[in-house]
Amino acid sequence: MSALSSKLHAVGVPKPNQHTGPMAGHVRKGRVYMSPLAATGALRAHDWFKDDLPDLLWPALVLAEQGNESVRRFVRWQKAVQDRLGEHGETVFVAESLDGRLTHLSALAERLPGADDIVVEEATRFELLSEGVRRALGSYPFMPAPWLAGQVEVRPAELAELQLIRAALLGVLQDGHREALLKCLRTWSAVQAGTFSSDAQTIELLKHYPGDEATRSAADATVRAGWGAHKFAVLVNEPNHFDEAIKLARVFWGANSMTSRCIRKQDTEGNGDGHVSEDGRDMDDNSSAELVAGDAAPTPVPADGAHLRQFTMDLLSSFVEALETAPARLHDKERQEVISGLVARAGRDLIAVLTAPDLWCMEHGSHIVRMLVETKIYLHWMAQQEPSVYREFQEYGAGKAKLYARISEEVPAEARKAGFREAIDEFERLSHNHDVLDHRVVDTRDTFAGGKSLRAMAEEAGLLDFYRQAYSLASGVAHSEWWSVETHAMEPCMNVLHGLHLIPSLSLSFGGNVPLASSWVDQFYSLVRTALDILRTDEAAVAAAFAWLHEAAEVPVPVPQDG
Ligand SMILES: [Zn+2]
C-alpha cells in the first residue's frame, strides 16, 4: 500500500468541488464528475484474474493439485535455483524472475544460459512438475517457457487437464488465502535473496506467514495489496513490462473458449457451478441456446392486477365524458385539443400495455414511465406559458409531418410498397400546409419549446425531482445504458475456464409486476386530474363523470403520488 499511496501523493489528489447533491464529494470537470481518486488520472483498475493468473498458471495448478502446503516447496525451489544461479551475480534479476510467472521464467532462461535446465531440475526435485501439471501447461499454444512442460508439441487439453485447470482457476477465486500465497511468491523470493524491502510492520506480519493462523488473514490482505502495489510500481518504470503476460492471457482465454462452451446458471441447476462433461471437449453440448420464459407462454394477467386495464379504460372514458358534458372554451380550441389529446394518448398507451403483463417490468415497461412523466411535465410547463403555446405545440408537429413527407419522397420508386403514396399524402395532410402556398415552417430543434429540453421544462415547472427520479432512470433503460443491459439482458458465464465474462441471458423477464403497473395507473389518474384542473373543467361535470370512482368501494382508489 505504501508504494501506491506515495505515488498518489506524488501525483496529487484533487480536492472535491462538489459539496451538495448526489455527486457530493466529487471533482467536476465540465459535465464529468470524478471521484478524487479517479481525478488523479493515476488510477488503473487491473483485473488480475484475467490478466495475471494465466501467467501464474504453473503455481496455481500445483496448489490446486497438491494443496496450499505445496507452496512451501515452491519457496525451497526458489532458494535452490537462486543458489545455483548465484555465480552470475544477478541476484535481483534472478529473485524477481522466480515469482511464479511463466513470462519471467522465459526471460530468465533467455538471459542466463542453462537457467531453464536448473529451473526444471529443481522443480522436479521438489515435485512441482507432476505429469498432470505438465500436461495442463502443455495444452496451450505459444506458452512462454515451453521447456517447463517438457513437451515437444501442444497437446489439446483432455478431460483431466481441463478439470485441473478449472480447479486452479476456481481455487484462487474461492480461496483468498490461496490467492495470497500465489502473490507472496515474489515476496518470498526477494526475502530469500536479501533484496526485499518494506516497512517494519509488513515484515513483522510476514515473518510467521503463512503458518500463524492468528495473523493469517491480516497478512493475506497485506500480501494481496502489496502485490498490486508492486505491479503498479513496476509499470510506472516499465510501462511494457507485462505485455508478454497480457499476450499470454489472450492466448489462454482464447484457447479455453475453444475447449469448452459457455455455461448458464439454468444449465447447471442441481450441478453446482458448472462441470466438465465426459468427453471433456464440450461442457454443455446437449443443451442448445434457447430462450426460456417460464413455460414459454406469455405472462398471465395476475389476479390482483386483473382490474387495472378496465379501471384505466373507465378513467379515460370518464375524462372524455367530463370534457364533453362541461362547457368548453371552444374559441381557443388548441388548448383543450392538446391537453385532452396528450391525456388520451397516454391512456391508450397504458391500456395497451395493461393487456400484456410481460411488459409490467422495468426492462420492457420503461417507455410507459417515460411517456407518463413526459406528458405530465408538458402539461404543467405549458400551463405556465402564454396560451399560444398550445398552437405552437401543434404547429411544431405539423412542421415535422411536412418534413417526414419530404423524407419519404426520397425513397426510390422501386423500393416503395403498396400504400406508400397514401402514407405520404397523409403526412402532407397532417402538415396542414396549403396546396399552393407553402407556408408551413419546419422546426427541427429538439422540442416544440424552441429546443428547450424536457429537463429544463421540468425545472421551470417545479418537477425537477420528479424528472430526475423517474424519467432519467427509465431513459437509461430506453437508451440501453450498460447498467440496464447488464442487469436485464446479460448473465455471467458459469464456466470458470472462460474467465468470468457476461453472456446474453436466455431467460426472459417475467413481467406481471402489479405494484409497478398500479403505479403507472396512479400516474395516469394524476394526469387526468391535472388536465381537468388546467382546463378548469366544470366541477359538477367532473364529479358526475367520476361518481363511480367514489361509489365503487371494491375498486382501489389510486392516490396521486405527486402534485
Ligand atoms: Zn463463457
The DSSP annotation for 153-180 comes to S-----HHHHHHHHHHHHHHHH-HHHHH
How many angstroms separate the first and last alpha carbons of the chain? 52
State the distance from the centre of ligand 1 to the C-alpha of 495, rounded, in angstroms.
Answer: 6
Closest CA to 70 of 133, 127, 2, 1: 127
Cα–Cα separations (whole angstroms), residue 157 to 52, 160, 245, 407, 494: 21, 8, 21, 58, 19
Closest CA to 164 of 118, 191, 130, 196: 130
Q: How many Å apart are CA 335 and CA 380, to the nearest integer?
A: 13
State the distance from the centre of ligand 1 to the C-alpha of 348, rounded, in angstroms.
Answer: 43
State the distance from the centre of ligand 1 to the C-alpha of 500, rounded, in angstroms.
Answer: 7
State the distance from the centre of ligand 1 to the C-alpha of 99, rounded, in angstroms.
Answer: 29
Residue 450: partners with Cβ closer than 8 Å, 6 or more residues away: none
State the distance from the centre of ligand 1 to the C-alpha of 479, rounded, in angstroms.
Answer: 26
State the distance from the centre of ligand 1 to the C-alpha of 255, rounded, in angstroms.
Answer: 12
State the distance from the centre of ligand 1 to the C-alpha of 64, rounded, in angstroms.
Answer: 22
State the distance from the centre of ligand 1 to the C-alpha of 8, rounded, in angstroms.
Answer: 36
Residue 132: partners with Cβ closer than 8 Å, 6 or more residues away: 61, 65, 160, 161, 164
- Own/partner pairs for 344-350, CB < 8 Å, 24+ apart? 344/316, 344/319, 344/320, 345/375, 346/371, 346/372, 346/375, 346/524, 346/527, 347/312, 347/313, 347/315, 347/316, 347/319, 347/524, 347/528, 348/316, 350/312, 350/520, 350/521, 350/524
Residue 51: partners with Cβ closer than 8 Å, 6 or more residues away: 242, 245, 246, 249
pLDDT tens, position by position, 360-379: 999 999 999 999 999 999 99
- Enter the DSSP assignment of 446: S
pLDDT tens, position by position, 506-548: 888 888 999 999 999 999 999 999 999 999 999 999 999 999 9
Strands 490-492 and 32-34: unpaired
State the distance from the centre of ligand 1 to the C-alpha of 493, rounded, in angstroms.
Answer: 5
Which value, in Å, is the radius of gyration of the alpha carbons in the chain?
Answer: 34
- What count of other Cβ atoms lies within 10 Å of the Cβ of residue 243? 11
The confidence score (pLDDT) of residue 262 equals 86
Cβ(175)–Cβ(210) below 8 Å: no
State the distance from the centre of ligand 1 to the C-alpha of 501, rounded, in angstroms.
Answer: 6
Say what the pTM is. 0.74
State the distance from the centre of ligand 1 to the C-alpha of 260, rounded, in angstroms.
Answer: 8
Q: How many Å apart are CA 206 and CA 285, to the nearest integer?
A: 47
How many degrees, rounded to 5, is the angle at CA 550 between CA 545 and CA 554?
125
User: Could you give the angle at which helices 389-409 and 420-430 cross, rounded to 10 degrees?
Assistant: 150
- Enter the DSSP assignment of 511: -
Cβ(482)–Cβ(255) below 8 Å: no
State the distance from the centre of ligand 1 to the C-alpha of 276, rounded, in angstroms.
Answer: 13
State the distance from the centre of ligand 1 to the C-alpha of 174, rounded, in angstroms.
Answer: 18
Q: How many Å apart are CA 535 and CA 543, to the nearest integer?
A: 15
Cβ(50)–Cβ(59) below 8 Å: no
Q: How many Å apart are CA 527 and CA 524, to the nearest integer?
A: 5
- Enter the DSSP assignment of 130: -
State the distance from the centre of ligand 1 to the C-alpha of 141, rounded, in angstroms.
Answer: 20
Q: How many Å apart are CA 524 and CA 345, to the nearest integer?
A: 11
Positions in the chain short of pLDDT 50: 1-8, 10, 271-287, 560-563
Q: Region of 423 please: left (phi>0), alpha (psi -120 to 50) or beta.
A: alpha
- Enter the DSSP assignment of 140: S
State the distance from the centre of ligand 1 to the C-alpha of 411, rounded, in angstroms.
Answer: 43
State the distance from the centre of ligand 1 to the C-alpha of 496, rounded, in angstroms.
Answer: 8
Cβ(545)–Cβ(322) below 8 Å: yes
- Give the dihedral of Cα atoms 71, 77, 82, 83; nearest 10 deg: 130
pLDDT tens, position by position, 154-205: 888 888 899 999 999 999 988 999 999 999 999 999 999 998 888 888 888 8
| Type of residue found at 390 | Y
State the distance from the centre of ligand 1 to the C-alpha of 270, rounded, in angstroms.
Answer: 19
Place of cell 389476479: 303
The confidence score (pLDDT) of residue 329 equals 77
Q: How many Å apart are CA 87 and CA 524, to the nearest integer?
A: 84
Place of cell 395507473: 521
- What count of other Cβ atoms lies within 10 Å of the Cβ of residue 223? 26
The confidence score (pLDDT) of residue 547 equals 93
Residue 239: partners with Cβ closer than 8 Å, 6 or more residues away: none
State the distance from the centre of ligand 1 to the C-alpha of 132, rounded, in angstroms.
Answer: 24
The confidence score (pLDDT) of residue 281 equals 42
Q: In degrees rounded to 5, what are phi and psi of residue 490? A: -120, 160
Place of cell 510506472: 236
Grid coordinates belonging to 252: 489462454
State the distance from the centre of ligand 1 to the C-alpha of 266, rounded, in angstroms.
Answer: 14
State the distance from the centre of ligand 1 to the C-alpha of 323, rounded, in angstroms.
Answer: 59
State the distance from the centre of ligand 1 to the C-alpha of 264, rounded, in angstroms.
Answer: 8
Q: How many Å apart are CA 175 and CA 71, to the nearest integer?
A: 14
Q: Which residues pair with 504 in a beta bridge?
A: 490
State the distance from the centre of ligand 1 to the C-alpha of 497, rounded, in angstroms.
Answer: 8
Q: How many Å apart are CA 522 and CA 513, to the nearest integer?
A: 14
Grid coordinates belonging to 292: 426460456
State the distance from the centre of ligand 1 to the C-alpha of 130, rounded, in angstroms.
Answer: 28
Cα–Cα separations (whole angstroms), residue 317 to 146, 199, 337, 430: 78, 77, 16, 26
State the distance from the centre of ligand 1 to the C-alpha of 169, rounded, in angstroms.
Answer: 14
Q: In degrees rounded to 5, what are phi and psi of residue 267? A: -75, -25
State the distance from the centre of ligand 1 to the C-alpha of 535, rounded, in angstroms.
Answer: 58
Cβ(133)–Cβ(62) below 8 Å: yes
State the distance from the centre of ligand 1 to the C-alpha of 100, rounded, in angstroms.
Answer: 27
Strands 502-504 and 27-29: unpaired
Closest CA to 314 of 341, 262, 351: 351
Closest CA to 234 of 142, 99, 429: 99
State the distance from the centre of ligand 1 to the C-alpha of 252, rounded, in angstroms.
Answer: 13
State the distance from the centre of ligand 1 to the C-alpha of 254, rounded, in angstroms.
Answer: 11
State the distance from the centre of ligand 1 to the C-alpha of 243, rounded, in angstroms.
Answer: 24
State the distance from the centre of ligand 1 to the C-alpha of 281, rounded, in angstroms.
Answer: 14
State the distance from the centre of ligand 1 to the C-alpha of 490, rounded, in angstroms.
Answer: 12
